[in-house]
Amino acid sequence: MHEVQVQCPYCYEIQWLEIESDERGEMVQDCEVCCRPWRVRVSWSRDHEPQVMVDRAQ
């Protein structure tokens, strides 16, 4: 399990996401502060580190 720091695209609060080593692709998750939905994209680097992008879910 990896922890990744992200920023909410709505309220801009910094939060931590836990990423499992087998997670890949896209998912929707709600912000723990403002409860608005995020689109979370997870990929992995060659060094086996998670690369996470968060933006507003439509």
Q: Is residue 23 over pLDDT 90? A: no
Q: Is residue 17 over pLDDT 90? A: yes
pLDDT band with cut points at 50, 70 and 90 for residue 5: very high
Domain span at residue 23 reads 2-56
The mean pLDDT value of the chain amounts to 93
Q: Which residue has the tokens 């087998």?
A: 22
Percent residues over pLDDT 90 in the chain: 74
Span 14-32, mean pLDDT? Answer: 92
**Other residues' Cβ atoms within 10 Å of the Cβ of residue 45:** 8
Number of domains in the chain: 1
Q: Confirm if 39 and 54 have CB atoms less than 8 A apart.
A: yes
Q: Which residue has the tokens 């910094």?
A: 14
Q: Is residue 47 over pLDDT 90? A: no
